[in-house]
Structure formats: structure tokens, C-alpha cells
Structure 1
Amino acid sequence: MRWKVWGLIMLLIGSIVPMGFSFAGSNTTQLNQTVLNIDNETREQLISARLINQLDKISSIVEGLEDKLPENSSILTSYEKAENFKEKAIEEYNDGDYYSSILDSLSAMHYYKIVLQEFKEGKEKYNEARERIQGQIERMMGYFRMIERTIKIAESQGLDVSNISQTFNETKDAYRVVLEDLKARDFDKAKEDLKVVQEKKKVLDEEFRELREELAHQNADKIVREFLERTAKGIDFANRSIEYAKGRGVDTTGAEARLAEVEAIYNQVKALAQEEKWDEALNVIENNRETLTGFMRTLNAIHERIVQERMKRNFRGFMGEIGSRMRKDVRALRELNKKGVDTRRAELQLRTAAQEIGMGMRLLKEKKPEQAKMHFAIALRLMNEVEEFIVMHS
């Protein structure tokens, strides 16, 4: 449809200036000379006939768009005006009023042009909306999968999941109705049915939050022990990263401040764990979630600056180090996998890191070093996470 729209718009633009018409099999100079040699009435008749002929072609294509429009569409209003002017132009031509026919033909073309432009813009908006909806559907499906997995885990640990299971099924069924509405392009019904989903999802969100809390406290000792082990290694890793960055002139003030906060949280959780106050220790972790997340963001920022410094100093050496680390990580993950450790996520991260390196190299060849640095920084961050995973499970 796109080529038709642009072709028609060019046709309209060309038709607005009558003397610019090109008749098949005629030379432009000869045509102009012919037009000059005929009287005004004949000249107007030729132009009027040409315009009406083009209006018929445009109308036959635009007519197919009418069925795709809602009744209250502004495009439909412009289409009706175009059709009225076209019919009027044809009547005037048949009555021999060629001058008036030309004027009304041009008016019809003006409104046809509006129809085509608005239809093109509407189609672009529709495509954008469709992409947004598709993204929302994918996120909702991911949300459902996460809840389903959590329900299964909770059920296997003897927790009562009857209420959340019922709410979950009702929400899924309601959402399925919305998807059917969208498939049928019944957008008004989809909006109404979506309100039902939103209400049910509010209830599901609350029940899911309660289940996660119940599940977390039932496994508080495991979660706290895992936190202590992971955070101890993270603190050690952070200290090494900060020292490395400081040695190369990178400002680490923010990272050091956040590290001190994390160490304080770690010590508090450790003290409670030693007294086997697992629920209290878990509450400390939950209450400081934002601080812990911020600490990781700060470390990632340091990694990105380290990448830039390494690239400036010795790019070939930097790439050699990356390649060596990747080979070691691949071997280490293979060994962990043989021991029964689930390494799928780490393997995916390592593959993604390799892809980021490849993209960075391509951007360097295209002389886009700043964009390349971003991809190298992402790769380094992913590799750091993989190596943390390897250390944790070794």
C-alpha cells in the first residue's frame, strides 16, 4: 500500500499544475505548442477531461480504504468531500462548464491528498501502537510465567496456594479475552475487557507479594546464607575493582562510600545470622535493597571507565586479555556443568558478551569509537558477572 500512497501523492502534485501534464506518446514541446494553438474552450475541455480521468483512477484506489475506517474518522470526512467535488466536477464537465469542472477537480484532488496523507499517518500510528501492545503482551506473558513458577515452588514446600491459583487463572482467562479482541480488531471491546484484567491483576499483585514474602521467610536461612556468601565475594571483588580504578586515576569516591554502606549491611546481617535470627536478617536485606542495587550500578560505572582507560593505553593488549578470560570462563563453566551446576544463564551471558565484543569491533572499523566503547563496557560487565558466578560455585 505504501508505494501506492506515494505514487498517488506524486500524481496529485503533478496534476495540480495543468500545464505540466505529460500525455503518453507526446513530446512536451509539441504538447505545449498544440495547446497554444487551440482556443481556450477546447484547452479547458482537454484539461478538465485529463483531471477527471485521473480522479477516477485515484478514487478507485482510495475507495478501498473506506471500509478500513471507523464511522467517526476524520479521514472519512475528507473522503466524502473529495467524492462530492469529484461528482460535481463530472456533472459540470458533462454540462460543458469546463472551467468550473477544473476548479472542482482540483478541490477533489486536494481532499484526496489529505485522505492519503492521513491514512499514511494513521497507519504509522497503528504500527507503533501494535508494537507497544506486542511489548505489553510479552511482558504480561513473562509475568504470568514468573507467577506460575513461584506457585509451583510454594506448593512443593507445603504452602497454601489455593487463593492465588484461582486469582491467577481468572486473570489469565480475562487477559485471553483481551487478546481475542485484539485479534478481531475490536479495540473498543478490548479497552473495556482490559479494565477487567487490570482489576484482577491488582488482586493478583497483592497475593503474589504476600506469597513471595511467605516463601522468603520460610526459606530465610537459605536466602541469608546465600546473601552472605555472595556479598562477601562481591565486597572482595569491589575492593579489587576500586583499587584497580584508583591506580589509573579514576575517581572512586562514590564507589567507596557505597562499599562502606554495603559492608555495614553485610556485618549487620552476619551478626543476626550468627544468632540464627533469620527473619530479622532477611528484613535487613529487604530494607536495604535500594542501597545494594545502587552499589552494583556504581561498580558497573567504574567498569565502563576502566574499559575506556584500557582501550586508550593498549587496545591490542586489552583485546588479548578479553580473549584469554573468555577461554578460561568457557572451560570453567564446562567443568561446573559436569558437576551438575546449572550454568545456562552464565553461558548465555558469556555468549552475549562475545556478541558485544563483535559489535564493538565492527563499530571501530566504522570509525565510531565512542559507540564501540559502550559495547566493550557491556561485555566486560557481563564477563565480571560470569566470573562471580564461577567463583561462587567453585
Structure 2
Amino acid sequence: MSQEKVKRLIGEVFNDIADAIESGSFGKKVKVALTLPESEHGAGELVKAAKMAMEKYHDFEVVLIGPKIDGDFKIYEAETLEESHKVMEKLLDEGEIDSAVTLHYNFPIGVSTVGRAVTPGSGKEMMLATTTGTSSSDRVEAIFKNALYGIIAAKAMGITEPSVGILNVDGAKQVERALKELSKGGYEINFAGSVRKDGGCVMRGNDLLAGVPDVMVTDTLTGNLLVKILSSYTTGGSYESLGYGYGPGIGEGYNRIICIISRASGAPLIREALRYAATLAQNKLPDAADREFKAAARAGYNDILKRLAATAQGKDTAEEVKAPHKRVVTYSIAGIDILELEDAVKELWKNGIYSESGMGCTGPIVLVPEDEGAKAEDILIKSGYLLR
């Protein structure tokens, strides 16, 4: 190691010490609370997880919330999960604890959780954005928000330039367009590339298993299913043993660090969920979220959200369009989101081109006459259904 690098590292260490002394956090461990009621495996499984965490990790402290138990842990007493949540929220708001791990918690609309799984194809850790909660009542708007939530969680875990992939679910192409617009506006997004031959940032199942992106963006219901499968595929489904759980709730203006596990989560996973919650507290997740939301807003994030909402509303009042005279269609156009497929067909009808919808091996396609293929593509690009 060069002298210059040694000097730089020493300087960074002293700066960290100075910051810690100034903030009053020098020598203090963050406190992570774990609620005990309603696990399918019993409270003993969660206490076991807390013990495992304290044996493996020494830079944070676990406290418990639930019925009184024997042991060395500090416990805040509560009989039910509902009571535990009230205690947990009070402790978080008063600063008695820094983060928490719980189950079956209801976040407000606009907040959803970013899970963290270990992929079976490569053993790589991957964020799943998102896994519980509701980012928005509109599907495309929700997935677009989920992408930013995933980036926030990744950066709060120390991944400075997380790669982002969009799972090939309904709405993926619309989200891709919206994210690329946000990127052009100045919010830096490191798009992942699929391992499949045709590449692109829209991910297939192969990419999911291989853990291609640092952040896999999807709708919450799909993300919830995936985290359950990836955490319990070696145990037959009743015991979640792998990964870090369903992750922290993230949303604009949301300041509590609450990470989710499920009633099927076992001690090995809960131990790592505690690790996840502790690191997010150490790295000040709410501050990271605030920085990213402000940076995204400067790049047009809120304007994109408004347009997505207006587009969704406009679909409910779409005009009736009649098809032109039927022709043989052999030219296929791929890359259109399935949620917009019929709208794209009608857009071509409005421009005098007969078209039909279909499904190819890579996803939805629009079929048009061979001699009108180039013209149809140009119309779909100009109307926003295709990326250039």
C-alpha cells in the first residue's frame, strides 16, 4: 500500500472519530428492538435469534418487546402484537431505540418495504423493491416509486452505485421509460443488463436467480412472493431460513426504521434482519432517503408521478376507436408494456394502420402489415409506447 493511500485512510479514520465525538455517538451502540408475539414458531425462536445476533455481532444491542421472559435481555413488556407495536412506535419516536424488527405491521399508504434476499444461482445478496406495504394505488406509479425506494435502501447499506433491474411484470416497460426519463433529468441510475442475449434492464427469471442487479424492482405482491420463496426454498416453505427478511418501510417523509419479518421467519433469518435494521440505523436511513428524494425531485420525479397518475386516469375515459379494414399482419413490434398493449393497438388504428395484439416468446407484441412496420414503430415511439 502506498504512503499516500495510508495517509488518506488515517485521515478518514480521524475524521470518523471527530464526527462521532461531535455528534455524541462515540462508543454508543445502536439499539434494535425485536417484538415477540405471534410468530408461528413461538417467542422462543425470536429470543434465540436475538441471542444468535449478539453472539455474532458486537456493534449493536438487541432489546425485546413482548411478554416478560427470563434472560439477560432488556425487555419492554407488552402482551399482544398490537400492544408491542404501540410500545415500539413510542420508543422509536422518543429515541430510546434506533430501529425495530417486527411482523404484521401496517404502514401508511405510500410506504413499502425493501427486502433483502440471497439468490440461489450465485449466492449474491439482492434487494427486492418492494415486499410489503403499498407505494401507490396505481400499479405503474407504485413500481416507479419502488425503484427509488430500492435505491435508497441499497445506498443506506453502503452500495454507492447500486445497479437497478426491473422484473418483467405488468407495467415494467412503462416504469423503464419513466426511470430513463428521470435519469435524463439528472438523477443518476445505474441500469443493470440482463444475462439473456437480448440484454436490457428489464429482467427475466434467469436474472432473478442469478442476482444480476443489486436492486430488483417489482410490484409489492410479486416481491412478497419472491422473498418468501427465496427465504424458504431449502426448507419446504414453512420455515424461512435464508436472507434478511422483508426489510424497512420507506416512503417520502417517513422517518421510522421498522423492518419486517413474517410469522414463518426462523432464527437464522431474524438474526440477519436484526443486522439489516442495525446497519440502516448506523447509516441513518431517514437521512439517506431525504437526500435521494430531493435529488430525484430536482430531476423531475414529481412531474413524472403526476403524468403517470394522469395517464392512469385518462385510460378510464378513453375514446372508442374503430379498427381500419382488416389486413394480414406479419410484422411484429416488441417492447410494449402489456398494460398498454391494447392502447398501442388503438393508437395505430387512429393513424389508419390496422394492427392486432399478440404475445411473443419475449413478451407482448403488436402485429402490423409488413409494409407499414417502420411507420407503425415511428408512431408508437412518438406516442410514447416504445423507447427509441
Per residue, is there more helix in 1 or in 2? 1
TM-score of the pair, normalised by structure 2: 0.21
Rg (Cα) greater in structure: 1
Per residue, is there more strand in 1 or in 2? 2
Q: Whose relative contact order is higher, 1 or 2, with alpha carbons under 8 Å and at least 6 apart?
A: 2
